[in-house]
Structure 1
Amino acid sequence: MAALARWWRTSVRGTPRARDVSDAVLTLAVGLALIAVGLVGLWSGPVADDAGRWWAALPLLAICAVMLGKRRRPVLTLAVGVVIVAVDAGLGGSLGTMVALIDLIHATALYAGAAAVRRIESAVAVVAIGTPTVVFVVTGQVQSAVSAALTLVAVLVTPLWWGRSVRQQAELAQLASARAADLERLSALREAEVVHEERTRMARDLHDALAGNLSAIAIHTEAALTAPGAGDGSRDHASTSPERRALEAIRAASVSSLEEMRAMILLLRSGDDEVRSPARLSELDDLVATARAGGLSVQVRLPDVPPLPSAVDQAAYRIVQESLTNASRHARGGDVELVVDVDGAALRLQVTSTGGSGTARRPDPGGTGIGLLTMRERAEALGGTFEAGWVAGADPGSRDHQLWRVRATLPIEETR
């Protein structure tokens, strides 16, 4: 039974067109069954002739064919249906055509324009009130007038009211959906505004507090370095004295921190108003060009990369970006080899770097390790692996020929 119900919902009633066809076929089947048992001659009385009753099948077939267009042309199909019912009434009348007329009225209330529905409501009201009045005036019988009124209410008023009710519920649901969408957009706008204000406040605080202090450090160290008698003794001694080297290191660190702080402030103030597509491996050429402009000698082995899941594509780009950034910082002027390998199951990245003289330099003591942690988190979030560390170079016995290698494996199939 469940399978039959599922077949009915998906196959027979799955689409609007299928529902229209099934309505017409079912109405035709019921109408023919009623004709077969002799339920014809609603207005002229029972038809005794078996052959004569089947004349009622002609208007039934016609009105069922008209039902196929009730969704696209509801007013036209209703007008044609009324004409067919009038012809059927001249033949005696049948229940099948009345059922089809009820369906057409209901469809008109659902799918016709608001102005057309109002005109039809006015026409139905005139017919529903005027016909019983005329019957009473002509026959003088209250029972006949009431019977006519009840019939018209059942055939005309009820389907029209039912269709209007369903239509109003659908319109209310659409309004509620639109209101929910508007509220969601307003919430997103408020959230974006709050984030923008917070970013602006953070940028302002960074500029007013940290940037000012760093500027003061840079200015004072520069003044100390250029002051007369800085670094006691000869010029050569002054340039190599521990105090001067310390001042130079402090100034260099403060200037570098100022540059990074400025970039951070600009980033915070830039906002996210500009819509940008996420970075992908297809943009590696620009990334490599930037690294080469910074003094690195980058060799790239990149095969034709098939379409990748968005998360894998973006994570791979960010890992390569961070690896090249680290190489620019710790191995300026060195050689970097970037290898990308893709098979059906995973994407593999390897970035190997050496120092400017063919050696890899140890990271600066000021490094925080956040970049390595971020790369590891990106890989492991996708179910992949990440490793970074020193490996033996061309001369395994020499510490100066060690290489810094970053390797990441990002699964593809599990991410789709």
Structure 2
Amino acid sequence: MHEQVDGGIGAWYRRHRGWADPAGMALLAVVMAALGFRGVWGSFSLLSGPVSPWWALAFALPACALALVKRRLPMTVLGIVTILFVADLLTVGGIGTLFVLLDVLWTAVFLAGPRRRRTLLVLLSASTVILFIVAWLFTDMPFAVAFLIGVQFGAIFGTDYWWAVAVSQAHELAELHRQRAEDAAAVAERDRAEAVQREREAMARELHDVVAGHVMAMAIRAEAALSTTPDQTKDREALQAVRDAGLDAHGALRSMISVLRRGDGALVATPRWADLDGIVRDAERAGLVVGFDAPDVPELGAAAEQAVVRIVREALTNCIRHAGGAEVDIEIVERNAEVQVRVRSRGGVASAAAAHGGEGWGLQMLRERVGALGGFFTAGPAPDGWSVEGRLPLEVRV
């Protein structure tokens, strides 16, 4: 219960501090006047005799009123309250105006920038020196007492200045840490989004390169069997090819599902150079006439090797879809510190199953993959057919 009361009072004070502080200082000035506080700085008074302590309110209350707008006009309010304090110092000698001046000075320093703070520090130092000189030369104070007065005023205002600077820097540091935390959170969120996007792109590549290829092969082989005269031997071969493609697609899907559920392992086995013969044989079984030429190709880095195999596989898959029975020439050579892959097709007819295929995603993903490795990729019509070409630097390694 006590903590709730303290929290309520503290929250109320923070909400109404703009007028609560000036009101409290005004009340304090009235109490001091009622208690007879006057002549505190009697040595600086220019009056010939004592005056009523209530006269101190003539300076303190206007200063409290000005404190209501100290945050909107900090430097202006500081200047006017300083004048009121000097007038009080030279007449009544109350201390209510001193409290207001310290409060206004703290606010001005807290809100000021580094340049203005340096200016205020110079003015405070100069004011302390002037006060000491005035007390020493224009009053009956001994040098030691005048020096002590100067030190006291310097300590009071200097502590007020240092406190405001410390609190302001603490706020600036907290704001800096908050900004850095927000920036770090934004970077983390961006990295997370990029990681998700990369994962989606990897899944899309694997689905297209493996699963979609197998499924399309199943459709093409089934179509070929249905479009010819029934033949038990050929039909069984087609069914076996469909079964093999289905099992491969099933294995790839299980691998991808396992990765998605557990978050470990590879999506599917990455294609290697040794897989090219099998890819070519599959294309020939699908009806293509393939010529394969790869003389003296040097050892490639894993990334370049996978890209080469994917280019060949994608080109042959597109031939099966869009140019069934075509003649296809595959050439892989080393030239000018690059490995060059060229797949050219001639003739052939489009399969009915091609109408249910993709929309050029495979070629687009190949272009992105080759570009990421610093290579060049192109695909387009050629005389009597279609040409797919990729060039990759031999320095590519992973």
Query: TM class, shorter-chain normalised?
Result: 0.5 to 0.7
Quick one: distance in 1 between partners of 2:89 and 2:65?
A: 18
> Is the Cα contact below 8 Å between 2:42 and 2:93 reproduced in 1?
yes
Aligned counterparts, 1:164-243, within 5 A: 164-229=165-230
Tell me the equivalent position of 2:59. Answer: 59
- Superposition deviation, residue 147 in structure 1: 1.7
Give, in whole Å, the separation in 2 of the partners of 1:2 and 1:9. Answer: 10
CA gap of 1:4–1:36, structure 2 versus 1, over 3 A, is farther
Contact 1:39 1:94 in 2 (8 A): yes
Following the alignment from structure 1 to structure 2, what is the Cα–Cα distance between the partners of residues 140 and 88? 19
* Equivalence for 1:156: 157
Is residue 88–residue 94 contact of structure 2 (8 Å, CA) maintained in 1? yes
Alpha-carbon shift at residue 136 of structure 1 (Å): 4.5
TM-score normalised according to structure 2 size? 0.54
Cα 1:127/1:14, change in 2 over 3 Å? closer
How far is the alpha carbon of 1:154 from its aligned partner? 3.5
Q: Distance in 1 between matches of 2:149 and 2:87?
A: 19
Letter in 2 for 1:221: A
Deviation at 1:207, TM superposition (A): 0.8
For residue 178 of structure 1, what is the amino acid of its counterpart?
Q
Q: Which residue of structure 2 aligns with residue 14 of structure 1?
A: 14
Alpha-carbon shift at residue 92 of structure 1 (Å): 2.1
Q: 1:254-265 alignment to 2 at 5 Å?
A: none
Q: Kindly tell me the number of residue pairs found equivalent between the two proteins.
A: 241
Deviations 1:150-188 (A, max 9, x none): 222243211111101100000000000001111111111
**Residues 25-46 of structure 1, C-alpha deviations (whole Å, 9 max, x = no match):** 1111111111111111122279
Moved more, 115-124 or 196-205: 115-124
Q: Are 2:100 and 1:100 equivalent residues in the alignment?
A: yes
Equivalent residue number for residue 35 of structure 1: 33
Q: Letter of the 2:179 partner, please give it.
A: A
Look up the SS of the partner of 1:146 in the other structure.
helix
Report the secondary structure of 1:108's partner residue.
helix
Aligned AA for 1:63?
A: A
* Structure 1 CA distance for aligned equivalents of residues 132 and 142 of structure 2: 10
Structure 2 partner of 1:311: none
Paired with 1:194 and 1:2, the residues of 2 have a C-alpha distance of 47
1:238-283 CA-to-partner distances (Å, cap 9, x unmatched) read: xxxxx99x98xx89xx9xx9xxx9xxxxxxxxxxxxxxxxxxxxxx
Answer with 1 or 2: which has the greater Rg. Answer: 2
Whether the aligned pair in 2 keeps the contact of 1:63 and 1:97 (CA below 8 Å) is yes
Percent identity reads 28
CA RMSD of aligned residues (A): 3.5
Residue 80 (1) aligns with residue 90 (2): no
Counterpart code for 2:166: S
* Runs (5+) with no aligned partner, structure 2: 254-398
> What amino acid does structure 2 have at the position aligned with 1:124?
L
SS in 2 for 1:42: coil
Relative to structure 1, the CA distance from residue 87 to residue 142 in structure 2 (aligned partners, 3 Å threshold; closer, same or farther) is closer
| In structure 1, distance between residues paired with 2:90 and 2:51 | 17
CA distance in 1, matches of 2:53, 2:191: 71
SS across alignment from 1:40: coil
Deviation at 1:132, TM superposition (A): 2.4
CA distance in 2, matches of 1:83, 1:142: 26
Report if aligned partners of 2:64, 2:100 keep a CA contact under 8 Å in 1: yes
Q: CA offsets, 1:204-242, max 9 Å, x none? A: 11111111111111110000000134699xxxxxxxxxx
Which fold has the larger relative contact order, with Cα–Cα distance below 8 Å and residues 6 or more apart in sequence?
2
Alpha-carbon distance change, 224 to 3 in structure 1, aligned in 2, over 3 angstroms: closer
Give the CA deviation at 1:50.
9.8
